[in-house]
Amino acid sequence: MEKLRARAAALLAEGAVSLIIGYEEGTKRPRPLFCRNSESAQKLIFDSRCFHNLAVYLTRKDLVGKDRFAVTAPISTLRSILQLYVENQLSEEKLLVLTVDLNGELKEFVTFDEISAYVGQFELQRGEREQDILTKIEGMSREERWKFWMEEMSHCFKCYACRSACPLCYCSKCIVEVNRPQWINPWPAPLANMEWHINRAMHMVGRCTACGACGDACPVGIPIDLITRKMMEDLAPEFGYIPGLPAKKGNALSTWKLDDREQFIR
């Protein structure tokens, strides 16, 4: 922790970055901290409780401005950063990434290749919660799955916290806010909720990095992250692509190969 604070303070004092987005103690759990000077860098913390995905702030132009900035990032956030790079939302010139590894050592990444090499050492695994719920869902028939999600979605009151927490939901105008024509009914109701969540899931195909931030943000406990996560898991063997892993351009639904199995591509 001290090494992180000292390095952050030095980066700000030297003018190497004008902002560091990290974590500080909150009232209930760690919360985001926007450091703009060496003094505020002394509030920085970084431990296993710091899982809020700070990559969500990296596309906020009002926040990051035009200067170089830094972010502290656990593995899940590093995956989101790689995916944002793949989607041309981040540039190496502007971003410095700091993390603390499992041995407590401070690491600094200047290039996306460095991040990719580091993240590649960690296999994306299901946690206990993901395993329990997904195993249950995978054992259901199509009709049972529809019933399961309809019941879950009936609790949704369309607060859009799931969207706000997701680093990959960065459109300046979301489809739910388009009203000429109105594609999705804005009020919460069983079918209107399903419309919103199916649309969101379709927008996340091949892009979700399974960080879990959307599910964590849902105030009524809908395991909403597992829809996009499962789509990512199913897509990976078909397309040979795991979002947030390879730091290369292109994503599953916007690229194709001549040797694709489906005839329609030729």
Question: Which residues here bind ligand SF4, judged by CB under 6 A?
Answer: 156-162, 165-166, 168, 204, 208-214, 217-218, 220, 222, 224-225, 228-229
* Residue with Cβ nearer ligand SF4 (98 or 210): 210
CB contact at 8 A, 231 and 183: no
CA end-to-end span of the chain = 55
CA separation (Å) from 134 to 51, 55, 210, 231, 236? 21, 26, 13, 11, 16
3-state class (DSSP) for residue 99: strand
Residues listed for the chain = 266
Nearer Cβ to ligand SF4 (34/160): 160
Residue given tokens 């329990």 in the structure block: 132
CB of 166 to ligand SF4, least distance (A): 3
> Which tokens sit at 82?
């790689």
* Min dist. Cβ of residue 216 to ligand SF4 (A): 8
Q: Is 54 helix (H, G, I), strand (E, B) or coil?
A: helix
Q: Is 4 or 80 the residue whose CB approaches ligand SF4 more closely?
A: 80
**Which DSSP category does 237 fall into?**
H
State which residue, 204 or 245, has the beta carbon closest to ligand SF4: 204
Q: Please report how close the Cβ of residue 212 comes to ligand SF4 at its closest, in angstroms.
A: 5
As measured in angstroms, the least distance from the Cβ of 68 to ligand SF4 is 25
Nearest residue to 149 (alpha-carbon basis) of 205, 198, 214: 198
Of the pair 99, 209, the CB lying nearest ligand SF4 is at 209
Q: Which two tokens stand for residue 23?
A: 């974590």
Residue 2 CB, shortest distance to ligand SF4, in Å, is: 31
